[in-house]
Amino acid sequence: MFLSVFDMFKVGIGPSSSHTMGPMVAAARFLDMMRASPFEFHGVKGSLHGSLAFTGVGHATDRATILGLAGFVPDSYDNDKAEEALAAIHATHTVTPEGLPELAFDPKRDLVFDYDHTLPGHANGMILMATDAQGDVILRQVFYSVGGGFVLTEEELAQGKDSNDGPPVPYPFKSAAEMLEMAAASGKSIAQMKRANEIARGCEVSFARGTARLWEVMNNCIERGLATDGILPGGLNVRRRAKGIHDALVAERGMNLNAPHTINDWMSVYAMAVNEENAAGGQVVTAPTNGAAGTLPAVLRYYLDHVPGAAPSHVEDFLLTAAAIGGLVKYNASISGAEAGCQAEVGSAAAMAAAGLCAVMGGTPEQVENAAEIALEHHLGMTCDPVKGLVQVPCIERNGLAAIKAVSAASLALRGDGKHFVPLDAVIETMRQTGADMHEKYKETSLGGLAVNVPNC
């Protein structure tokens, strides 16, 4: 099993990796299918199903799909150009993606929110279609946005999780138990094994540049969030809080009056800054998803700014270790809130962050696995119930609390010797089972929980 660091951490746009980035990626893939087809196309249309329909407006799923059909992709997204393109599409009822003729597309008519028909493969399903001059469908593809910006066609989903093309990797662990066995046999850390796997699939120089860019984008996102105030879009009138909290924390420095627990406010404000940026549609990095994008950067920033002896040279090891844990969760369970609730998103993020922090603070592979286990175990059962379908309430604060849990989990693991009662694999399997048993109204549909018990305006 191999999932790259650049699979787990993708540069993209808010507010959702599964509901915004995924549909945009799916549309881009569909355009590629059209370009490779011998047919002559005259129009495109589509339908959104399951969670993509129920919370699609709040997550800007329609906007992302429209832009994707116009040729936009998340990692090179330009908001100004996107706004110009949207205005043109609504005015002309056409899209003009590169390498294809002008295509008829009326967003109000040709993109349907289908609340009545859930597709069988995943809660986040969509169908994209291309039509001929008579309006008949001559190309059709079902896509599933399975979390973290990952997109699969229905055929790829049917092939199973282990369809992993590419040269073999030296440490192909599929479980935490295998990971620890390989670490013990090789004498390598989790980060060292993960790095060896990455290099086996790519260039060492480009890998180093890529990981550096990931942290640069994460940290820039924190800085933007700490510097920006105002009201978040979407209609809930949620006020940005990160800037005000950060300004107060900076003003209190050196006063010698702060309670020790004030450090929790620093962890929280870093995470909230990211998730406020995400809610505003800004550039973020999936970690492993957009809804959970603040937890890991917050813990890494906490390490660099507040832990004595911390060094920027350890950032890569942090990301490698976190990606290894995230890959195990995705492979054996889920990182999708629509599939398994917020335990799969924020819980996974906390486990990844705890593992990364434990590793860069000198933890053994056993302690790293223990840190991830503690963090994930204490998010089990967490529902995904965003108010009005927006990635704002409770998502922004939830990332801050997850960062605190992640640091606590790493600290507890470092106080031990790595031996513990519940293995990480058992917690991941429990999370999968819990997600399968969880009622659909608690899985990113905004049909239960806080979403129905808090006024939406």
pLDDT at position 363, please?
A: 98
Q: What percent of the chain has pLDDT over 90?
A: 93
pLDDT at position 376, please?
A: 98
**What angle is formed at CA 422 by the lines to CA 419 and CA 424, rounded to 5 degrees?**
90
Assess if residue 392 is contained within a domain. yes
Same domain, 190 and 155: no
Same domain, 404 and 328: yes
Give 349-360 pLDDT, tens digit per residue. Answer: 999 999 999 999
pLDDT at position 165, please?
A: 67
Assess if residue 231 is contained within a domain. yes
Assess if residue 184 is contained within a domain. yes
Same domain, 253 and 369: yes
- Counted domains in the chain: 2
Same domain, 192 and 135: no
Q: Work out whether strand 124-131 and strand 94-95 pair parallel, antiparallel, or are unpaired.
A: unpaired
Assess if residue 353 is contained within a domain. yes
Same domain, 151 and 222: no
pLDDT at position 161, please?
A: 57
pTM above 0.85, yes or no: yes
Same domain, 71 and 220: no
Q: Are 203 and 6 in contact (CB under 8 A)?
A: no
Same domain, 247 and 317: yes
Same domain, 389 and 287: yes
Assess if residue 74 is contained within a domain. yes
Give 214-273 pLDDT, tens digit per residue. Answer: 999 999 999 999 999 999 999 999 999 999 999 999 999 878 778 999 999 999 999 999
Same domain, 148 and 189: no
The CATH number of the domain holding residue 289 is 1.10.4100
Low-confidence ranges of the chain (pLDDT < 50): 162-163
Per the structure block, which two tokens stand in for 293? 């994008």
Same domain, 154 and 230: no
The CATH number of the domain holding residue 79 is 3.30.1330.90
Final residue of a structural domain among 100, 125, 159 = 159
The boundaries of the domain holding residue 256 are 176-453
Same domain, 401 and 303: yes
Same domain, 141 and 183: no
